[in-house]
């Protein structure tokens, strides 16, 4: 599978480390309700279809990137840096 | 070396290079260009092996990767490979091969007695028989395993070299038959980077086995012409002996190139090479596999696919028999009959299951005198170990015999039951093949990836149409890859009058006959087995496959699957299109594990990491230990000293005088910027803001779920400059995690984070004499107690090099850690070692490092197992009381407040002598089997002169003084232990300042 790193271009997925769901929203405040925290730490959707997720370009630029990947077909529709909305 | 069945002329073999090989101990002759199968046939060897379950004699059915029967044990010793298809072995001088699954010989195999019990051995018999008594299975199973199964594995390591390489191209063409060659040429003409791969020795695909004319000239001229054109294109690469075996995401295709399998290998030769090909567009010109027909005894040696008989004759100049009977359902078989007759094989009859075949193919056989019997079929073959004749009868259009039958003597039965396009790679690429009743096979469906099929792989069998399809697809693929195509006029394709094939999945048995009728040869699956599976309730073709083992052999059902699915459909009384196929998975052919490993085997399975002082350790006599990927000194034994004695001596030396240890493997990070301290506050449980410049602090990081992640130190080098160290094991993971916090969680914080793990070499100097030696090597800057208090930091110059000194201690003695840029690590080690000579300096390794820290109750990897909290470790006082940090909320969850949680304690043998077994469980004497905890680290303590250990025990802190039992079922030992504080030695820490 090729992952398009915004810095480095298309690179094989063996250069990357998977980093989990990127749709969780901001980290809850320290005194947020207990259930909010437990959902943030443990609960994940498991969609069959388009998914936004983090990957770390471990054997490349070592940046964290956000990738849009279809979990069924592995088709990757774009990537971006965290905190930015543009996808390449 | 008489090859009685070899014709004097013709074929692609090189008669100027005769070769010799040995099969079952008998020496035979062949030629360069032969496969083992063609050479065996040339020498009249008909019986090659015995079948999996019934031990029936088996011969050669096919030409290539689709061969189910001719499996041999190839080579001997370390190079031996079981279950190798004789059709895929390129003959070389001195080759040795033997039959499998037979004893004492393939011609007389005692295993054939299982045939007598075949009624007890249908598909799935082992789920129903040999069930009682239950313990009896232990006696039956080895016997059953010996009786069934194939070759034997090598017992020595693979001696061959393999490698991996990468290739990028615009158009990858898989297969060099007429369609593939046309595609490669038209794509190459646009200037695109084209990679053409073919599993064969030479290009040409099916053309090599036929005597076709292209543009009124022999096809070999056309092949040579295209090859020359391709060779003249600088952007075109051609790989022969290269099988594309896997199609992966994003148009990545894996190809196995057999670099030196056909030559005697010299040392250093690469045997096989795997190409990881990244293609913009892929063209699948993978051809089609001929199907056989199901009739009685259709597995006898001498029953062969018609295309294979023709191939052996045309490509290898081998007559596969003397007198042949042909059985066909399509027009192509008529050309086979003509070729056989012209090649010296007498064709007694051609049985066509179609009632009214007509057209050019049939007409051209009329002048040969070969008797054609329409609407007829073979009902069963005769012969004990090879075909001696067949019984034939007229059949109706669903294969049921009617009327009278008669026998025809023959030694070769050529069967053509239609063609199944090789859709494997298309399916691996997530295409979904669909059934085409016109050809009785599955053709490619819609493509998901950038691939398309051409020629026979698509169900197109007419030669001109294949060439045209290939040419069009090549141009189209190049255009999609961004290259300009010069439009050429398409050649009109003349329609040739022909009769469509008639697909009959099973020829009915004559009344009163009970011969085995095989649907899958390699696993001895009969039509009765499939009917049985459906009767027993299996509905899905995937279940029937696994219950009967249909298509699970080494050829993965290439000739048999479609028929198998049709039998399932018939038994379920549904359409074959709704039954579908089983899932196609890579590899397309068996791949040696060595090829998959490439160069990354043995020592190279994992990168070896060495510190800057590696050679110095060796010079000091270190025994090196693989610790994760790092090579670290275990200890430095003197001559005739055991490793245990060395570790004890080293630990004692540190406590009594002075030791030196390489700690370069620790993770190290620079954290710099106005928000550096805010960042550190959020990742550590400790208060960081109060850390002054020039001071160090022991720090612990948690995971979000409140579990301890790592421990290390944080030092403030300057106002906005911090230096963080971590454990060796977690350094890489922490680098990722800290970057995540910086880039994803808190991108608004203004700081720089740099992983400098490899940039600094580090030495710990520990022991009562450590200050003396340190002061001696420091050239500028003071290291006295005032300039460098305990948990302090300063920068000095040693040997002309700026060095960071940290006064921290893992051993519990007065100690200093010296950091220099890694290039100076070795010279620093030598300098300090030299300066310490008069003070009895002792290099020590990780064994004694471990001993010293256990005596002081310091936790390390054994304790930080991903399940402990900071309170479990007794370090709750380190946690700051306000301010958020990662893991704060997680630590507050109810499950982590349980007072029965396992807590860190020390354990010592009650008798003061018995060693506590590593990994032992802690139990109460009166309640065996209920674990209260486990031993995490063990050592022998030089200061207490007895074995000691650290352990995690339920409510451990309230059990000090209790006697429990450390039990190890593995070591078969129980040791009474007393629970105590983990601070075995110097609990006040006086020696740190002493």
**Mind listing the pLDDT tens digit for each residue in B475-504?**
999 999 999 987 766 666 666 677 889 999
Q: What's the confidence (pLDDT) of residue B101?
A: 82
Are the Cβ atoms of A41 and B248 closer than 8 angstroms? no
Q: Which residues of A touch B705 (CB under 8 A)?
A: 41-42
Handedness of CA B104, B107, B113, B115 (dihedral sign): positive
Handedness of CA B35, B40, B41, B43 (dihedral sign): positive
Question: Minimal Cα distance from A80: which residue of B?
Answer: B744
Tokens 């110095």 sit at which residue? B616
Q: Which of B448, B739, B745 sits opposite A27 (nearest CB)?
A: B745
What's the DSSP call for residue B465? H
Handedness of CA B576, B416, B352, B525 (dihedral sign): negative
Are the Cβ atoms of B736 and A2 closer than 8 angstroms? no
Contact of A87 with chain B, judged by CB distance below 8 Å, is answered with: no
The answer to whether B680 and B749 are in contact (CB under 8 A) is no
Q: Which residues of A touch B884 (CB under 8 A)?
A: 29-30
Query: How many beta carbons lie within 10 A of that of residue B929, not counting itself?
Result: 7
Which tokens go with B436? 């085409």
Q: What's the confidence (pLDDT) of residue A87?
A: 45
Q: Which residues of B touch A27 (CB under 8 A)?
A: 745
Weakly modelled stretches of chain B, pLDDT under 70: 1, 147-149, 488-496, 926-929, 994
Are the Cβ atoms of B739 and A56 closer than 8 angstroms? yes
Secondary structure (3-state) at B776: helix
What does the pLDDT look like over A65-87, one tens digit per residue? 999 999 998 999 999 999 875 44
Question: Nearest 5°: phi and psi at B635?
Answer: -170, 175
| Selected residue of B889, B894, B896 to mutate for chain A interface (largest A Cβ count, 10 A) | B889
Helix (H) or strand (E) holding B627: strand B623-627
The answer to whether B109 and B99 are in contact (CB under 8 A) is no
Give the span between the Cα atoms of B788 and B782, in whole angstroms: 8
Are the Cβ atoms of B248 and A1 closer than 8 angstroms? yes
Contact of B105 with chain A, judged by CB distance below 8 Å, is answered with: no
Residue B296 pairs with which residues in a beta bridge?
B380
Q: What's the confidence (pLDDT) of residue B53?
A: 87
Question: Nearest 5°: phi and psi at B598?
Answer: 65, -130
Which tokens go with B92? 């070389």
Give the span between the Cα atoms of B809 and B791, in whole angstroms: 8
Rg (CA), chain B: 38
Binned at pLDDT 50, 70 and 90, residue A88 comes out as very low
Which residues lie closer than 8 Å to B837 by C-beta, 6 or more apart?
none
Q: Which of B278, B705, B740 sits opposite A64 (nearest CB)?
A: B740
List, as ranges, residues 47-86 from A with C-beta within 8 Å of B: 54, 56, 58, 62-64, 73-74, 76, 81-83
Are the Cβ atoms of B736 and A58 closer than 8 angstroms? yes
Contact of B740 with chain A, judged by CB distance below 8 Å, is answered with: yes
Are the Cβ atoms of B744 and A64 closer than 8 angstroms? yes
Helix (H) or strand (E) holding B530: helix B527-535
List the domains of chain A with CATH numbers.
Answer: 2-80 (3.30.2270.10)
Query: What DSSP string describes B688-699?
Result: -TTPPTTBEEEE
Query: What DSSP string describes A11-80?
Result: EEGGG-EEEEES-S-SPPPTTS-HHHHHHHHH-----SSEEEEEEE-TTTT--EEEEEEETTT--EEEEE
Q: What is the pTM of this model?
A: 0.90
Q: Which residues of A touch B893 (CB under 8 A)?
A: 34, 38
Secondary structure (3-state) at B877: helix
Give the span between the Cα atoms of A45 and B691, in whole angstroms: 41
Q: What's the confidence (pLDDT) of residue B927?
A: 66
The distance of A59 to chain B (nearest Cα, Å) reads 11
Residue B6 pairs with which residues in a beta bridge?
B318
What does the pLDDT look like over B462-481, one tens digit per residue? 999 999 999 999 999 999 99
Give the span between the Cα atoms of B786 and A51, in whole angstroms: 58
Query: What DSSP string describes B600-622?
Result: -SGGGGS--B--TTHHHHHHTTP
List, as ranges, residues 654-713 from B with C-beta within 8 Å of A: 704-705
Q: How many CA atoms lie within 13 A of A30 on its CB side?
A: 11
Are the Cβ atoms of B884 and A17 closer than 8 angstroms? no
Handedness of CA B464, B469, B472, B478 (dihedral sign): negative
Helix (H) or strand (E) holding B78: none
Contact of A15 with chain B, judged by CB distance below 8 Å, is answered with: no
Which residues lie closer than 8 Å to B73 by C-beta, 6 or more apart?
B80, B81, B82, B83, B84, B97, B98, B99, B100, B151, B152
Give the span between the Cα atoms of B775 and B798, in whole angstroms: 10
Secondary structure (3-state) at B394: strand
Cβ burial B186-216 (10 Å sphere, 16+ → b, else e): bbbbbebbbbbbbbbbbbbbbbbbbbeebee
Residue B627 pairs with which residues in a beta bridge?
B630
Give the span between the Cα atoms of B881 and B685, in whole angstroms: 9
Which tokens go with B431? 């295409």
Is the peptide bond prior to B613 cis by the omega test (within 30 degrees of 0)?
no
Is the peptide bond prior to B26 cis by the omega test (within 30 degrees of 0)?
no
Are the Cβ atoms of B736 and A17 closer than 8 angstroms? yes
Q: Which residues of A touch B890 (CB under 8 A)?
A: 37, 41
Q: How many CA atoms lie within 13 A of B164 on its CB side?
A: 13
The answer to whether B947 and B940 are in contact (CB under 8 A) is yes
| Selected residue of B168, B250, B428, B885 to mutate for chain A interface (largest A Cβ count, 10 A) | B250
Q: What's the confidence (pLDDT) of residue A48?
A: 96
Q: Which residues of A touch B252 (CB under 8 A)?
A: 1-2
The answer to whether A66 and A22 are in contact (CB under 8 A) is yes
Are the Cβ atoms of B735 and A17 closer than 8 angstroms? no
């Amino acid at each position: 599978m090729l992952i398009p790193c915004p810095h480095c271009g298309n690179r094989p997925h063996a250069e990357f480390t998977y980093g989990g769901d990127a749709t969780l929203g901001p980290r809850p405040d320290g005194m947020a309700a207990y259930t909010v925290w437990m959902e943030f730490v443990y609960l994940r959707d498991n969609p069959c279809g388009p998914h936004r997720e983090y990957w770390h370009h471990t054997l490349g630029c070592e940046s964290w990137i956000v990738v849009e990947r279809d979990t069924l077909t592995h088709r990757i529709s774009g990537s971006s840096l965290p905190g930015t909305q543009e996808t390449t | 070396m008489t090859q009685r069945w070899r014709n004097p002329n013709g074929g692609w073999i090189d008669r100027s290079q005769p070769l010799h090989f040995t099969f079952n101990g008998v020496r035979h002759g062949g030629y360069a260009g032969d496969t083992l199968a063609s050479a065996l046939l040339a020498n009249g060897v008909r019986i090659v092996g015995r079948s999996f379950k019934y031990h029936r004699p088996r011969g050669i059915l096919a030409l290539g990767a689709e061969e189910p029967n001719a499996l041999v044990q190839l080579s001997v010793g370390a190079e031996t490979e079981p279950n190798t298809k004789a059709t895929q072995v390129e003959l070389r001088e001195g080759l040795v091969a033997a039959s499998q699954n037979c004893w004492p010989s393939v011609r007389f195999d005692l295993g054939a007695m299982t045939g007598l019990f075949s009624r007890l051995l249908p598909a799935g018999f082992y789920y129903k028989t040999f069930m009682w008594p239950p313990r009896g299975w232990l006696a039956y199973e080895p016997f059953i395993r010996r009786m069934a199964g194939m070759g034997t594995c090598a017992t020595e390591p693979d001696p061959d070299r393999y490698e991996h390489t990468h290739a990028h191209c615009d158009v990858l063409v898989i297969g060099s038959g007429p369609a593939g060659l046309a595609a490669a040429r038209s794509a190459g003409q646009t200037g695109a980077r084209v990679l053409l791969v073919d599993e064969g020795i030479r290009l040409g695909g099916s053309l090599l086995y036929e005597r076709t004319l292209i543009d009124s000239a022999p096809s070999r001229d056309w092949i040579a012409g295209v090859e020359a054109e391709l060779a003249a294109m600088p952007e075109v690469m051609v790989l022969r002996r290269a099988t594309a075996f896997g199609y992966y995401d994003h148009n990545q295709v894996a190809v196995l190139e057999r670099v030196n399998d056909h030559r005697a290998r010299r040392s250093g030769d690469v045997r096989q090479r795997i190409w990881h090909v990244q293609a913009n567009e892929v063209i699948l010109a993978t051809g089609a596999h001929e199907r056989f027909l199901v009739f009685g005894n259709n597995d006898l040696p001498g029953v062969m696919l018609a295309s294979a008989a023709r191939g052996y004759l045309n490509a290898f100049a081998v007559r596969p028999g003397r007198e042949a009977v042909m059985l066909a359902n399509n027009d192509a078989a008529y050309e086979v009959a003509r070729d056989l007759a012209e090649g010296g094989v007498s064709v007694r009859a051609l049985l066509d299951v179609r009632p009214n075949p007509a057209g050019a193919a049939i007409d051209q056989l009329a002048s040969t005198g070969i008797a054609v019997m329409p609407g007829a079929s073979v009902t069963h073959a005769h012969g004990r170990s090879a075909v001696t004749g067949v019984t034939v009868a007229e059949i109706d259009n669903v294969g049921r015999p009617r009327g009278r039958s008669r026998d025809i003597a023959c030694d070769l039965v050529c069967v053509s039951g239609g063609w199944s396009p090789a859709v494997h790679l298309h399916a691996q690429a997530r295409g979904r093949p669909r059934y085409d009743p016109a050809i009785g096979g599955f053709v490619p469906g819609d493509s998901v990836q950038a691939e398309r099929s051409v020629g026979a792989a698509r169900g197109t069998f007419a030669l001109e149409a294949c060439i045209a399809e290939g040419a069009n697809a090549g141009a189209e693929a190049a255009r999609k890859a961004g290259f300009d195509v010069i439009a050429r006029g398409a050649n009109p394709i003349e329609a040739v009058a022909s009769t469509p094939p008639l697909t009959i999945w099973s020829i009915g048995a004559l009344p009163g006959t009970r011969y085995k009728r095989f649907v899958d040869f390699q696993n001895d699956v009969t039509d009765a087995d499939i009917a049985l599976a459906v009767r027993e309730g299996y509905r899905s073709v995937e279940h029937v496959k696994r219950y009967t083992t249909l298509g699970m052999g080494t050829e993965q059902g290439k000739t048999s699957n479609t028929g198998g699915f049709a039998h399932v459909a018939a038994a379920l009384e549904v359409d074959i299109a709704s039954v579908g196929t089983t899932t196609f998975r890579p590899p397309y052919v068996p791949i040696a594990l060595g090829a998959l490993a490439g160069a990354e085997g043995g020592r190279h399975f994992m990168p070896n990491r060495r510190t800057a002082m590696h050679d110095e350790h060796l010079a000091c006599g270190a025994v090196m230990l693989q610790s994760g990927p790092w090579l670290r000194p275990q200890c430095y034994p003197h001559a005739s000293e055991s490793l245990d004695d060395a570790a004890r001596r080293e630990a004692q030396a540190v406590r009594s005088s002075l030791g030196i240890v390489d700690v370069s493997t620790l993770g190290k990070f620079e954290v710099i910027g106005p928000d550096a301290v805010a960042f550190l506050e959020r990742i550590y449980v400790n208060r960081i803001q109060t850390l002054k410049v020039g001071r160090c602090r022991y720090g612990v990081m948690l995971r979000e779920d409140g579990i301890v992640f790592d421990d290390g130190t944080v030092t403030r080098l300057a106002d906005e400059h911090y230096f963080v160290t971590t454990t060796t094991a977690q350094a890489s993971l922490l680098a990722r995690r800290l970057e995540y916090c910086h880039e994803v969680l808190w991108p608004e914080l203004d700081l720089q984070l740099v992983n400098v793990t490899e940039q600094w070499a580090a030495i710990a100097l520990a022991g009562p004499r450590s200050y003396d030696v340190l002061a001696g090597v420091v050239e500028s800057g003071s290291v006295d107690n005032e300039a460098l208090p305990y948990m302090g930091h300063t920068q000095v110059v040693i040997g002309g090099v700026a060095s960071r000194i940290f006064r921290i201690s893992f051993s519990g003695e007065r100690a200093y850690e010296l950091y220099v840029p890694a290039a100076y690590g070795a010279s620093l080690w030598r300098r300090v070692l030299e300066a310490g000579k008069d003070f009895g300096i002792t290099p020590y390794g990780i064994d004694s490092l471990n001993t010293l820290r256990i005596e002081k109750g310091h936790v390390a990897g054994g304790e930080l197992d991903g399940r402990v909290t900071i309170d479990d470790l007794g370090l709750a006082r380190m946690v700051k009381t306000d301010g958020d940090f990662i893991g704060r909320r997680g630590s507050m969850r109810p499950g982590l407040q349980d007072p029965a949680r396992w807590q860190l304690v020390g354990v010592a043998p009650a008798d003061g002598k018995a060693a506590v077994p590593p990994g032992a469980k802690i139990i109460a004497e009166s309640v065996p089997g209920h674990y209260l905890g486990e031993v995490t680290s063990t050592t022998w303590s030089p200061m207490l002169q007895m074995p000691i250990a650290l352990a995690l025990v339920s409510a451990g802190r309230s059990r000090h003084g209790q006697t429990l039992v450390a039990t190890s079922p593995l070591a078969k030992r129980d040791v009474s232990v007393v629970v105590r504080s983990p601070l075995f030695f110097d609990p006040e820490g006086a020696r740190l300042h002493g």
